[in-house]
Amino acid sequence: MRRTVLFLAILWLATAPSVPAGPQKKGTATVSGVVLGPDDKPVPHAAVTYQSSGGNAPHAVHADAYGRFTITKLRADNYDMRASGKGVFSEWQKNITVRSGGTKNVTLRLIYARQVPNDYVKTKPKPQ
């Protein structure tokens, strides 16, 4: 009997329709965006570092396979953000203001490197 009840409970959980995400928690904000490389193409799995503009509580997230990222449940505040990927970094974008209940869109462009990786070196055709 216990096995049957357990089996039915697992079956119900596995087939129950997913509940859509409700409204954002009051007092929180979202930042979403994309990380682009020096060639203006999305950078898959780039790291995005962010912190409050006062320098408190640095955090990081990773972009998806298409260079997109989303940071949720942020307090309404000003934030500084920077991205990195394939050995290349973006400038810090400072004082990105996020408001309670809002979503801010950001584009981070990778431009700095000690040495530009081969992934971003544009090769010129050899003269014939």
Percent of the chain residues past pLDDT 90, beyond the cut: 50
Strands 77-85 and 47-52: antiparallel
Which residues contact residue 75 at a Cβ distance below 8 angstroms, ignoring those fewer than 6 apart?
27, 28, 29
The alpha helices in 16-123, defined as continuous H runs, are none
| CA atoms of 26 and 86, how far apart (whole Å) | 37
Which residue's entry shows tokens 């973006």?
A: 90
Examine the pLDDT at 46 and tell me if it is beyond 90.
yes
For the cut 60, the answer to whether the pLDDT of residue 64 exceeds it is yes
Q: Model-level pTM greater than 0.85?
A: no
Pairing of strands 28-36, 103-112: parallel
Report the alpha-carbon distance of residue 33 to residue 81 in Å, rounded.
11
Residue 45 has pLDDT above 50, yes or no: yes
Band (119; pLDDT cuts 50, 70, 90): low
Give the pLDDT score at 70: 97
Which domains are delineated in the chain?
30-112 (2.60.40.1120)
More confident residue, 57 or 88: 88
Spell 72-110 as b/e; 16+ CB within 10 A means b: eebeebebbbbbbbbebbbeebeebebeeeeebebebbb
Q: Of 77, 1, 81, 78, nearest to 35 (Cα)?
A: 81
pLDDT tens digits for range 18-44? 333 444 445 689 999 999 998 899 999
pLDDT of residue 122: 56
User: Counting runs of H as helices and runs of E as strands, what totals does the chain give?
Assistant: 1, 8
